[in-house]
């Protein structure tokens, strides 16, 4: 859904000249070349933000997914030329496809791999689900906006992501029928972490979630369930996401 890291990114309008130069350059490259250039940029950004995240590089499987998933298929046609610029883009219904850096970082923070089952709350365009699907066994993803959920499901099916299941519904409640999950990734910001999501997390699992009200400061957090049932919380970096809405 949203975001951008507010610690270092500027809105598109504030960097419009350089943004347009980047778009013009991208237009001369194949989609594969654009994905590779985007991955290289993300790797540089990760190094620049290591003082926040504690990470100087992301897992190789995450970067392979960024280099593989066709982001241009998850954006509206009018924004296809912008698909591999490292910025969020509108996808309709007041929502956005997240900045690729944030998608890569959240995927890395989830610490998942082959055999993992992941819940995503906030399907949006389906791009984050596709990136996860390149790495894990199965992704269950919930979208509250029907048109977006159906559109994402159609795109994922067309691209052959048969290990992603999309549901239209209230993501705050999670998906208890398929719990517990190895990781849960939330792509919209609640004011506080939803208790049902904590309940549906496996022991040792990671819940990656932006927390905080819109316009008053949000933090990307990682919650981990310990063997004794406690929850540890780590603040990663400041972000800006759309709010998590309810039915």
The pLDDT tens digits of the residues spanning 78-122 come to 999 999 999 999 999 989 999 999 999 999 999 999 999 999 999
8-30: pLDDT as tens digits: 333 333 344 444 455 545 555 79
| pLDDT at site 16 | 43
Strand partners, 120: 141, 185
189 secondary structure, DSSP code: B
| pLDDT at site 214 | 78
Dump strand ranges (E) for the chain.
4-5, 89-92, 95-97, 117-121, 138-143, 164-168, 181-186, 201-211, 218-225, 231-240
Give burial (CB, 10 Å; 0-12/13-18/19+) of 30: exposed
Query: What domains, with CATH codes, occur in the chain?
Result: 4-240 (3.40.50.150)
Of residues 216 and 153, the one with the higher pLDDT is 153
| Helix, strand, coil percentages for the chain (3-state, nearest 5) | 40, 25, 35
**What value does the mean pLDDT take over residues 118-127?**
98
Provide the token pair at 9: 């990114």
Provide the token pair at 213: 């009200």
**One of 14, 24, 51, 98 is an active-site residue; which one?**
98
Q: Is 98 a catalytic residue?
A: yes
| pLDDT at site 1 | 44
143 secondary structure, DSSP code: E
| Cα angle 227, 111, 161; round to 5 | 125
């Amino acid at each position: 859904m949203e975001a951008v890291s507010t610690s270092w990114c500027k809105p598109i309008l504030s960097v419009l000249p350089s943004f347009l130069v980047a778009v013009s350059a991208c237009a001369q490259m194949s989609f594969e070349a654009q994905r590779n250039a985007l991955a290289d940029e993300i790797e540089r950004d990760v190094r620049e933000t290591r003082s926040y995240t504690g990470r100087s590089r992301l897992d190789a499987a995450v970067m392979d997914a960024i280099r593989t998933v066709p982001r241009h298929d998850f954006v509206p046609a009018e924004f296809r030329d912008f698909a591999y610029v490292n910025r969020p883009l509108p996808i309709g219904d007041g929502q956005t496809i997240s900045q690729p850096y944030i998608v890569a970082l959240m995927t890395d923070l989830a610490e998942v791999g082959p055999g993992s089952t992941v819940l995503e709350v906030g399907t949006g365009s389906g791009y984050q689900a596709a990136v996860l699907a390149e790495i894990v066994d199965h992704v269950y993803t919930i979208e509250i906006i029907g048109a977006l959920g159906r559109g994402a499901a159609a795109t994922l099916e067309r691209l052959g992501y048969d290990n992603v299941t999309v549901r239209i519904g209230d993501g705050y409640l999670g998906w208890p029928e398929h719990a517990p999950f190895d990781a849960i990734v939330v792509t919209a910001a609640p004011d506080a972490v939803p208790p049902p999501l904590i309940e549906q997390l496996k022991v040792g699992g990671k819940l990656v979630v932006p927390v905080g009200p819109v316009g008053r400061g949000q933090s990307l957090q990682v919650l981990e369930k310990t063997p004794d049932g406690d929850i540890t919380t780590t603040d990663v970096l400041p972000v800006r996401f759309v709010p998590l809405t309810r039915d």
